[in-house]
Homo-oligomer: A and B are copies of this chain.
């Protein structure tokens, strides 16, 4: 089980929680302390601290140390593996669909040409 696999596990899992997605959205505007991040939510401060930790372990954010504050910063590049993974298979399925579609179009044309003759099996 490769490391990139585990990294994808963690990144996708991190974004599966609405609170954590909210935190990411907030951080896209500016860096923020845990206190600032917690403010809009109706849960304990510590719960938000945990959420930030999950995001950090997924590599999606980093924390620097400024006196007693730990400003949280969005790690933009860390989102790429997810979109790349999704887009890869989405595109593959899309291409298969187009091939199938083309095949069906050809078959439909064949229907007009030959199929009536072939239906005489009954």
Q: Which residues of B contact A1 (CB under 8 A)?
A: 18
Q: Among the listed stretches A37-45, A63-71, A81-89, A111-119, which one makes contact with chain B, having 4 or more residues with CB under 8 Å of it? A: A81-89
- What are the nearest 6 A-B pairs in CB distance? A13-B16, A12-B16, A28-B89, A28-B92, A28-B93, A12-B15
Copies of this chain present in the complex amount to 2
Find out whether the CB atom of A25 lies under 8 angstroms from the CB atom of B86: no
* Prevailing SS type, chain A contact patch: helix
The minimal Cβ–Cβ distance linking A60 to chain B, given in whole angstroms, is 10
Chain B residues lying within 8 Å of A16, measured Cβ to Cβ, are 9-10, 12-13, 16
Q: Which residues of B contact A97 (CB under 8 A)?
A: 76
The verdict on A86 contacting B93 (CB below 8 Å), with A5-B18, A12-B13 known, is: no
